[in-house]
Amino acid sequence: MLRRQFLSRFSVSAAAAGLAGTGFVCAAGDAAAISIEPAQDVPAHLRLGAPQVDGALDWDLLARAGETRFQDGTLSRFPAALQALDGQDVAISGYMMPFRDGKTHREFLIGAQQFHCPTCMIGDLSRLVAVKAAEAVTYAEQPILVRGTLRLLESEQSPLFYRLDAARAA
């Protein structure tokens, strides 16, 4: 039932936008009206990711984690570009996912995408960072900026790749 309602609403919206029956191919004059760039007023549950903040780590860099084989034959979860960040003071912008209810949190996850429903959760664990804050951070549905010491979780049993220690709101 919900799927039918969604498709019906989508069809009506598409028709209103002049897109129905066109296969979503726009005439040259209509091309400027459609954009895949995220708008500033997009509801939180429709955002594709956290906005890039000057001075903050890029989530695409963190996503490079995975199995890396170096020339000497050793294996690592991290390429050299990420190994250089281990122990460095960094800032990360993203969405907070606390482990418990409450207004402030000292331990939580921060991710590249919003955690608004279980079926939309991030499938790539390299886009999640465990945070251990030095002082409590106030929960927000909007992206937050935290700064702390980045730890690469190379030999630990955690499925996560990163932890931010002694973090604080930036």
- At 15-73, the pLDDT tens digits run 444 444 434 344 444 444 544 454 556 555 555 677 788 999 999 999 999 887 777 88
Is 38 inside any structural domain? Answer: no
Distance of CA 154 to the CA centre of its chain: 21
Q: Give yes or no: residues 6 and 66 share one domain.
A: no
Structurally, the chain folds into a number of domains equal to 2
Reduce the DSSP state of residue 3 to 3 states and report it.
Answer: helix
Query: Does 39 fall in a domain?
Result: no
Q: Is residue 149 part of a domain?
A: yes
The answer on 98 and 28 residing in a single domain is no
Sign of the four-CA dihedral 60, 48, 55, 145? negative
Average pLDDT over residues 81-107: 95
Its domain, for residue 11, covers 2-33
Residue 106: which H helix or E strand, with range? strand 104-111
Cross-strand bridge partners of residue 137: 105
58 and 119 inside one domain: yes
